Amino acid sequence: MDRPTFYKQRIEIVHAQNGEWTSQLNLNLDELTIYQNKLDEIKINKIDKNKEDDLNSLYEKIHLKRKEIEHLLLRIKANENEAVYSGQVHTRRISYEASDEYSEIEHELEQFILSFKDLKNDFLKFLNNDS
C-alpha cells in the first residue's frame, strides 16, 4: 500500500471514531437540556426550601457536565485536525490507536460516561424525592 493511501485510510478511521464520540456527546448534551428544563419546571412550581440545596447542586452538576462535554468536543476536533495535517504533509506515520492523545481522550470519555451516569442517578433520585 502506498503512503497516500495508508494516510487516507488512517484519517478515515480517525474521522469515523471521532464522529461516533461526537454523536454520543451531543446526545448527552440533549439529555442535559432535558434535565435542565425539568429542574426549571420544578423551580417554577416552588420547590420546598429543604430541597433547594439539592436543586442548586444539580444545576451546578449539569453546568459542569456541559463544560466537560465542550472540552471533550474541542479535544476530539483538535485530534482529528492533527491527524489530517500529519497525513497531508506525511511528516510522521499516523498510528492513531497507539497515540497518547487517542488514549487520553478515550480515558476521559470513559470517566465522563461514569460521572454522567452518577449525575443521571442523582437527577432521578431528586425527582423521586420531589414527587
Local mean pLDDT, 10-residue blocks, the chain (131 residues): 71 83 94 94 82 90 95 88 66 52 84 93 87 55
Provide the domain limits for residue 50. 3-130
**Vertex 128: Cα angle to 126 and 119 (nearest 5):** 40
Domain count, the chain: 1
**pLDDT for the residue 97:** 45
**pLDDT for the residue 98:** 44
C-alpha cell at 36: 435542565
Spatial distance between the Cα atoms of 131 and 128, rounded to a whole number of angstroms: 5
Structural contact between residues 115 and 65, judged by C-beta atoms closer than 8 angstroms: yes
Closest CA to 58 of 130, 111, 120, 112: 120
Closest CA to 59 of 33, 83, 82, 79: 33
**pLDDT for the residue 113:** 92
